[in-house]
Structure 1
């Protein structure tokens, strides 16, 4: 029996999904050849950015009933359906129960975990470990898995089409196919960040509390922040909520609810004071109470694939190019969908035929996008009061539900039509200038509206405001500087009638690199692949949105522009040609995550089967018969 080898470089959730699909497709194929699968990752198998040993106050951003690592009958063209437990199913099966806002394994007490509970990311990591163990126990015959607990260093082409994989442990092995699923990485710090870091370190003798934390990986870096420091958190998105939780709950503080379910904060005395700020100066909107079940999605009436195809054809006729302009071609119809969902929530029933949004609905959507547009704030206090009111209103809407509350029904559209948006923008679907504006301006706004934290996080934000432990920066677009005389960071207003400022000791950058910048990458593996010409950056004209260049099958494109049919990149390494690759697979929505894993697995095993058939034919070529014929003819 011949054996073939597949290398999966990176083994977080994406690699785990690929292993599951390879095993399922191999089992159905039942070939006459064996398969060796090498998994390369320094961490715990399958956990990736969700390690099981992280603090329990860091929560998953998707409700437990919607997260899965297994296929269901909604998944198309991804190999055989092989169901398995969701995160909720697994947590219940192993005895986890909810006790207030926490979760623990217990036979008695507490409450059964519900499909709409947001579980700690540590449990998510344990779920991934369970999935890995389940897959190993059920491997088909003649499939062998080897786990290399280290980093990959390089990949070299071999004559004949195979590849040599080089690990930093010194191990080298040949593979017929390589899949790059390295997940979240870190791009190099900018020159400005390096300069700021150096200046900060030089002033620590003057102010021992002074720190610049450019990355919160691992989260344990926050433990170095003294309790008597004031911390400036740059960014008010998902990472910021984790930082706030770590510096409050993680320091022993507690939130408790009163009779009206309003949260209040009981300090431990170990918390630093917090100043949060961003370009717009307002936090992400809260996720609403889920009323759609595990697989419910808003079904677009206007922003559909046939409509996108038609608009592409029109642009091609007009310009000779199928590339779209997001603001001109796509955004107006997304607004129409949001207005329709708003009106549908108000009425309960609405005919989409000849529907046009009412002016008041357009105005509502515009205000959701730009809540302070046209407003002038005279003082720091007036801006802070406006932001607080904005958060309180948003929490009230979130409690109303993502179907029953018109505002949240409208903003949830942006989450539910994500696959349609990918269909429009992926693989250079936008013009160069539009692509740049889409990522720089439209996406942050859409994420702020639709990809926020659970509503409880914004309720906690209000409680910290009330307790005097947290404040907002002085207006939008506040200017950050390091005052060397004070040896403190200074944040100065730029859009207030009366100038105001904040000073703080610690600057924490609340962001995660979600697009791989190959030209400035901390990963030696990706740098070596780039230097060796195996990969190249994805480009849309002269614009580099990040990520490896791949074709529509996710095969990487090398430095010479050749598609490498036996090398794939899935997930975050291909964030650039693909949009929004970092969401986990969901139940009953034909998850793109699972589709891509399945299509990759099907393609790999079909290619191996074809190779093996060729070798079989060569092995059974009747050479002795041809010789006998030649002798007879002579």
Structure 2
């Protein structure tokens, strides 16, 4: 018998929600009046998904201000589909406060929403409420005949012929969901430990120690870290900030007048990393005046030229010089426009020479030195990436003072609009990210560097870090951190290049970062099964997808006509499923392209054969709505 078309979306977090929003926006043009069943599969509630679920500590914040978070498109998004504007997070909170949006939430959360301002950093629970509302609005906006069916649980595998209907098998269900198309929007993944972490865990087990491998911090068992004892922490990004919060305020400590009052239940955190410093503070002021005209040196034409080159791209050789020049252009455009008194030539003269100079050339460096006298006003990305290179301290006590001074200076600068060229670089980073997504797997360094500059913690969190340092609850280890497993003494040892010859010993080691998105080690059964079924993966383990529409690529290079994937586990990974308003939203563009491709495919399928589109069955194995 004939059955209606069906689409399965695996992953109900912000990416899956964004895809449904784009389906709703594009359906009137591409799928008007037709029936479609959308099956949404996720063990966590739709909207927030796992990372942004309500069920986590109320102490955990977003690392973005409320006015910098939106799930809605605007005219800066380069997409074919229609713009469907909607409120950013702070505007939504105002709608709730003024009664334009009715929200069922507990009194504590409603009080947070009532008090939320545009430059506040919301809790993740508050963001979960916003994402849940966006999901409800997206579903409500679907045309009549397009119905969403929610399935709480894990998807295990996808089967089916390339030219036939697909079967998505769910945990605990004997019959699969049968669909014409499948889209994976899974988000961040758990992973099996890397060989190094397996060895460290085995060492810990032999000696009665604690080793916590990379994980989403909110899901880690931190009860294994005893009060008062040293804990070595490797990783100084956002996972560390969460760890810091949960092991201090989360254990009863509190802040008064800028100082930390311990509860006595905290461990002592010895923190180090490759750079030895925390991610740069979020910028604490808004944009004023003309924005730099981006992209300029790394736009779609240059990206296409890079893609057309024979052989694999080398990021450092082929791409990084263009990134450096693009970010430099954003920086100097703002410096000359807003702070011309700190330059020595007219912008038109500088721009002409800057444009003509080769990326990374001595000519370009000489131009900058002559036009920008103060080195503090020049953009040096290599120095930013290695802030402690050449910095040495005679002892760990001396390092604590030096690093507190570094963090204080960073906070001062990132909240001082006289250095608004930093915000221009942030906008440049977003522009660059949107282009680099098309290049596929460019290695992990760029994503870490982007996060270090553009996606750091809120300023108040770094003030808390300073207070914890003064209280002795956090101790800095420095850059070039190394960790050893001392079999003879039965302890972990950590040292750094910043304080040579000194080691810290501890009975606990925490890897403060998310697992790498690798198909080879993922614990996602559906991704494991796709890989075993012939899906292509890059050398670093990312799922290969067509950058234009997200179709999953096979090892023969062919895109699968009925399987798509979006998110950080793919070669088209974007900087985030939501973004700052009016910054282009690369993930929004991807969502739009995938939604339009899916709707056109389903429409054409119906038009080409309105009777039987099955793979040899009558379609009766699809679960009823």
Partner of 1:468: 472
2:75 equivalent to 1:63 = no
**Bigger mean CA offset, 237-246 vs 598-607:** 598-607
Structure 2: gaps spanning 5 or more residues: 100-106, 355-366, 614-625
Name 1:625's counterpart in structure 2: none
Q: In the alignment, is the contact (CA less than 8 A) between 1:301 and 1:352 conserved in 2?
A: no
Tell me the distance in 2 between the aligned counterparts of 1:586 and 1:235.
26
> Following superposition of structure 1 onto structure 2, how do residues 434-583 of structure 1 map, counting pairs within 5 Å?
435-436=442-443, 439-440=444-445, 443-473=447-477, 475-496=478-499, 499-513=501-515, 515-533=516-534, 535-538=535-538, 543-544=539-540, 546-574=542-570, 577-583=571-577
Q: In the TM superposition, what whole-angstrom CA distance separates every residue of 1:165-186 from its partner, at most 9, and x where no partner exists?
A: 1112223122111101111002
Tell me, in whole angstroms, the C-alpha distance in 2 between the residues paired with 1:160 and 1:445. 41
Distance 1:180 1:110 in 2: 32
User: Would the alpha carbon gap of residues 106 and 380 (structure 1) be closer, same or farther in structure 2, given more than 3 Å must change?
Assistant: closer
Q: Give the match's secondary structure for 2:563.
A: strand
Match of 1:92 in 2: 94
When residues 482 and 594 of structure 1 are mapped into structure 2, their CA distance, relative to the original with a 3 A threshold, is same
CA–CA separation in structure 2 for the residues paired with 1:177 and 1:8: 9
Q: 2:81 aligns with which of 64, 79, 82?
A: 79
Instruction: Note the alpha carbon deviations across 1:435-459, whole angstroms, 9 max, x for none.
Output: 45xx33x553443233211111111
Q: Name whichever of 347-356 and 51-60 sits farther off.
A: 347-356
**Using a 3 Å threshold, how does the CA distance of structure 1 residues 84 and 496 change in structure 2: closer, same or farther?**
closer
In structure 2, the residue matched to 1:228 is: 228
CA contact (8 A) 2:156 2:171 kept: yes
**Aligned partner of 2:262 among 267, 291, 296:** 267
User: SS where residue 411 of structure 2 aligns?
Assistant: helix
- Per-residue deviation at 1:527? 0.8
CA deviation map 1:591-634 (0-9, x unaligned): 12222112211111112222222235999xxxxxxxxxxxxxxx
Partner of 1:405: 418
Aligned to 1:608: 602
Q: 2:432 aligns with which of 391, 407, 421?
A: 421
Residue in structure 2 matched with residue 358 of structure 1 by the alignment: 368
Residue 337 of structure 1 pairs with residue 337 of structure 2: no
CA distance in 2, matches of 1:111, 1:159: 51
SS state at 1:553 partner? coil
For residue 137 of structure 2, what is the aligned residue in structure 1?
Answer: 134
Indicate the residue corresponding to 2:128 in structure 1: 125
Match of 2:579 among 571, 580, 585: 585
Change (3 A) 1:299 1:268: farther
Q: 2:617 matched to which residue of 1?
A: none
Partners in 1 of 2:440 and 2:349 — Cα distance?
A: 28
Deviates more, 1:500-509 or 1:135-144: 135-144
Give the deviation of 1:267 after TM superposition.
Answer: 1.7
What is the CA–CA distance in structure 2 between the aligned matches of 1:239 and 1:195, rounded to whole Å? 22
1: CA distance between counterparts of 2:212 and 2:6?
A: 45
Alpha carbons of structure 1 residues 302 and 173: separation in structure 2 relative to 1, 3 Å: closer
1:178 counterpart residue number: 182
Match of 2:196 in 1: 192
**1:630 matched to which residue of 2?**
none
Alpha-carbon distance change, 233 to 345 in structure 1, aligned in 2, over 3 angstroms: farther
Q: Is the 8 A contact 1:45 1:132 kept in 2?
A: yes
**Quick one: distance in 1 between partners of 2:339 and 2:179?**
57
Aligned to 1:595: 589
Distance 2:43 2:188 in 1: 14
Do the aligned partners of residues 275 and 140 (structure 1) sit closer, same or farther apart at CA in structure 2, a change above 3 Å counting? Answer: same
Change (3 A) 1:478 1:72: closer
Structure 1 Cα separation of the partners of residues 27 and 3 of structure 2: 15
Give the C-alpha shift of residue 193 in structure 1.
0.9
Residues 249 and 81 of structure 1: CA distance in aligned 2, closer, same or farther (over 3 Å): same
Change (3 A) 1:73 1:492: closer
The verdict on how the C-alpha distance between 1:72 and 1:389 changes in structure 2, with shifts beyond 3 A counting, is: same
Q: How many residues align?
A: 578
Q: In 1, Cα distance between the equivalents of 2:46 and 2:459?
A: 31
Q: 1:362 to 1:549 in 2, by over 3 A?
A: farther
Shift in CA distance, 93/308, structure 1 to aligned 2, threshold 3 Å: same
Q: Which has the larger radius of gyration?
A: 1
Shift of 1:35: 0.5
CA contact (8 A) 2:34 2:146 kept: no
Tell me how far 1:239 sits from its aligned partner. Answer: 0.9
Instruction: State the alpha-carbon separation in 1 of the partners of residues 429 and 80 from structure 2.
Output: 19
Contact 1:229/1:273 (CA < 8 Å) preserved in 2? yes
1:492 and 1:500 in contact (8 A); partners too: yes
Matched residue SS, 2:77: coil
Q: Is the 8 A contact 1:284 1:453 kept in 2?
A: yes
Q: Secondary structure at the match of 1:589?
A: coil
Question: d(CA) in 1 for partners of 2:290 and 2:36?
Answer: 38
Which residue of the partner structure matches residue 626 of structure 1? Answer: none
The one-character-per-residue Cα deviations of 1:328-380 (angstroms, maximum 9, x if unpaired) are 44324433433443454423897355335532466743343433333343333
Bigger RCO of structures 1 and 2 (CA < 8 A, at least 6 apart): 2
Aligned-partner Cα distance in 1 for 2:601–2:551:
13
Aligned to 1:628: none
Q: Which moved more, 1:580-589 or 1:61-70?
A: 580-589
TM-superposed deviation, 1:242? 0.9
Give the direction of change, closer, same or farther, for the CA distance of 1:342–1:508 in structure 2 (3 Å limit): farther
Counterparts of 2:118 and 2:170 in 1: how far apart (Å)?
41
| Secondary structure, aligned partner of 1:518 | coil
Where structure 1 has 5 or more consecutive residues not aligned to the other structure, the ranges are 98-102, 258-262, 620-634
Distance 1:573 1:216, change over 3 A: closer
Normalization by structure 1: what TM-score?
Answer: 0.82
